Amino acid sequence: MSGRAALKGFIFSKFLSLATALIIIAACAFALEVAAGSAVNSALAAESHEPLDVTATLAGAEPVFVSDYFSFIGADEKGHVAFAIDNNRSRRGRKFSADAHVVLHDEHEGWVSVPGAGDYENKKKELLAIPDSPDFQFTGEVKSGITLHSPNNRLELEVAPINELVSRVGAKAIFSMGSVSATLKWRGRVIPGRVIYEYIFMKSLSRWYSAFSGLYFNDFQGLYLKTGEGDDFYLHTSKGTAWQDMFDRVMGFQVIDGQYELLCELRIEVPERSLGPGFYLWPQSWRVSWQGSKGSGTLSVNVIDRKTVTNWLIGGFAMAIVTGELTYGGKTRPVYGLAELIR
């Protein structure tokens, strides 16, 4: 679609006009469904504030969406490695599906292709457990320690029992996060590091979610960082309201010197943006401040490498590598990590 020839440019312009029309029609349908869903959710909320019953939900017929997300940052004598895998599965009617979103980045090699990412068959119709695929298999459990095996990619991720730091249970969703030490074995390397973990269980998720998650999240920015001393730092910000019953639009936590705490008075600025492959801009840097038990803290990070995963022309989904400095408790620490971006 680079316009090398007039014919290609003409064909693409016609395609773009048609695609734009389809997007507008679908977005209108999506908006109507969200509005209707909001009215239904408000009515339900007025009737009951009972927390979600997972067993009853699984026994019922409502749509279900479940996600386990592991974000690993580590380093050895050869440099930093970042690896993230988001295992999603869902039930809609009699159909059970599964997919794995995977990214891998080497500090010197850049983004590394990982065979096996994408949709795969959920043969056992699993929802609570992570379904095995031909390229990725899990043994163990998150609470007691879990290991990802991927012989085809010469990769193995060993994750210690997750220390749950954030937990929210609503009428329609469960959300939790935690962090823990982990080891990535890849191409003969044994790379110590940390994992920030995120879990979502949701019922009655809109059928438009996969295609229009950008409208759900609306400029979502998530930072998954590790300091040079092995501390954890996480934050996210979003202008959307669709998930506000599950987590705050601005939220963050840190684990510094083994002490966990939520970030209070969190302020996030994006002083620089760069043009995306469409009609939108990607964040390029962040300046963050907050209050903790040891006083004020600041974070300054910049994107050094970005990978566009999906492009919707009016928005997109990307992963990026960021580096910078974190200052807290009278000490400045280097940070390295992943940024998840949805426009």
Domain CATH for 281: 2.40.370.10
Share of the chain above pLDDT 70, in %: 80
User: Do 151 and 299 fall within a single domain?
Assistant: no
Cα 284 from Cα 326, distance rounded (Å): 17
- Same domain assignment for residues 134 and 261: no
Looking at the structure, tell me whether residues 161 and 219 fall in a common domain. no
Convert the pLDDT of each residue in 34-53 to its tens digit: 343 333 333 333 334 688 99
168, 183, 205: which is the final residue of a domain?
A: 205
Give yes or no: residues 115 and 229 share one domain: no
If asked whether residues 235 and 264 sit together in one domain, one would say: yes
- Domain end, chosen from 205, 224, 245, is at 205
Q: What is the CATH number of the domain that holds 61?
A: 2.40.370
Both tokens of 241, joined, read: 């309201």
Residue 223 tokens, joined: 């930072």
- C-alpha 319/C-alpha 341 separation (Å) is 6
Residues 117 and 242 in one domain: no
Task: Please give the C-alpha separations between residue 230 and each of 38, 42, 100, 152, 256, in angstroms, as whole numbers.
Answer: 42, 43, 27, 29, 9
Sign of CA dihedral 137, 76, 159, 102: negative
- Give the range of the structural domain holding residue 29, as residue numbers without chain letter: 1-48
**For residues 12-26, b (16+ Cβ closer than 10 Å) or e, as one string?**
eeeeeeeeeeebeee
Cα radius of gyration rounded to whole Å, the chain:
21
Residue 181 CB neighbour total at 10 angstroms: 16
| 249-258 mean pLDDT | 94
Does 142 share its domain with 198? yes
107 and 215 together in one domain: no
Tokens matching residue 124: 């056992």
153 and 217, same domain (yes or no)? no
Q: Is 63 helix (H, G, I), strand (E, B) or coil?
A: coil
Given a cut of 80, is residue 185 above it in pLDDT? Answer: yes
- pLDDT-derived band of residue 249, with 50, 70 and 90 as boundaries? confident
Lowest mean pLDDT among 218-232, 233-247, 280-294: 233-247
Q: Are 42 and 115 in the same domain?
A: no
- How high is the pLDDT of residue 189? 98
Enter the pTM of the model: 0.84
Of the candidate ranges 99-108, 186-195, 239-248, the one whose mean pLDDT is the lowest: 239-248
Q: How far apart are CA 228 and CA 213, in angstroms?
A: 33
Q: Are residues 64 and 199 in the same domain?
A: yes
**What's the domain count of the chain?**
3
Share of the chain above pLDDT 90, in %: 71
Q: Does residue 338 share a domain with residue 213?
A: yes
